[in-house]
Amino acid sequence: MNEALVVIPLTAAVPVAPTFGRGLDRDCGISMASRKYLNLLPTLFIAATAVAYVGSNANPAYSASRRNGRVLRSATTLASTHTGNVSAAIGSVFSGRVSLKPGARNNEEIETSTRNALGALASAVRPLSNSRALPDAFESYFAYRAAHPDRVRKPYLYFVDYGLPSTQPRGYVFDMDALSIVDGPFMVAHGRGSAPNSAGVPKRFSNAFGAATTSLGLYVAQEIYAFTGHAGGQPYHSVGLRLAGVSGDFNNNARARGVVAHGAPYVTSTRAGRSEGCPAMEPARAKQLLPKLANGGLVFLFAPDSNWMTHDPWIDAG
């Protein structure tokens, strides 16, 4: 069920009336019947919200990711403010639910696209470190594409779940138009500053220069170039893909730090070593996948890090 459809009828049902603050409500002769009518609004709204919430469970992966999302938060806001400015509370719920980001399409389109992608792909992407991993990746992808269609010129999304250890395959490339898996799961390296050893789960994430850490969030894939690295004291050459971080302070230093996607000999089909913060993959796989992503694909690096999950601008941006 479309969440916005729940809010609009309730808002339409409220007659135009003066705004009642607590003091004004007590002193200005409002009838008992009017007070009872106003006090019923939170109950009606919460009941309608429950119907919307149950309807959203058609896709468990998506609904699980949004149990603390905008609709339930709006219901809580309205219930907690019903003794004060009721008209303002309803207006806030309505405007927050259907507002558009600059240049973005309607929020419901982003949510529908996310739901469809999860329906097509979620059952094939296992295991995941957290139930929000794919929903956050897909919603961020569609929200950014809606806001910046000129920058997203390829349908490909490179997704890595860094909540999993490097001993498990944790990388995928998706075709977000065809809703198919191009490749994956495969091994991906994390930054040496993010975990004490190559076999562990990365726990430390930073956007700082010299940290050699993985940086979480959404990236735009830019140009391909000839990458040169060092492993075991020896130089090696591979294809590299420059990345522009678009998740604010979480990854906007990526290009200046030299954080790129590339092939590396320390990543094989069974193990992944540590990088300087780059989501490195097997050399042969990099040669095949990175040109697909170049010049307009997106990259999403996930981990169940509460600070990032709460503050990344593209998570829950629709």
- Annotate 184-223 with three-state secondary structure: EEECCCEECCCCCCCCCCCCCCCCCCCCCCCCCEEEEEEE
Provide the pLDDT for residue 100: 36
Give tens-digit pLDDT for 24-39.
233 333 333 433 443 4
SS3 14: coil
pLDDT in tens, 33-91: 433 443 444 444 444 444 444 344 444 445 444 544 433 333 333 333 333 333 332 23
Omega before 169 within 30 of 0, i.e. cis: no
Q: Give the model's pLDDT for residue 39.
A: 44
Out of 66-75, 162-171, 177-186, which region has the weakest mean confidence (pLDDT)? 66-75
Supply the pTM of this predicted model: 0.70
Secondary structure of residue 216 in the 3-state scheme: coil
pLDDT by residue (tens digit) across 275-293?
A: 999 999 999 999 999 999 9
In 3D space, the residue among 46, 49, 42, 36 whose CA is nearest the CA of residue 2 turns out to be 49
- Taking all residues of the chain, what is their mean pLDDT, rounded to a whole number? 77
Domain range summary for the chain, segments of one domain joined by +: 3-98, 107-311
Return the CATH fold of 107-311: L,D-transpeptidase catalytic domain-like (2.40.440)
Per-residue pLDDT, 145: 97
More confident call, 156 vs 98: 156
Query: Which of 186, 144, 193 is closest to 166 using CA atoms?
Result: 186
CA separation for the pair 226, 288 (Å, rounded): 14
Which tens digit of pLDDT belongs to each residue from 116-148? 999 999 999 999 999 999 999 999 999 999 999
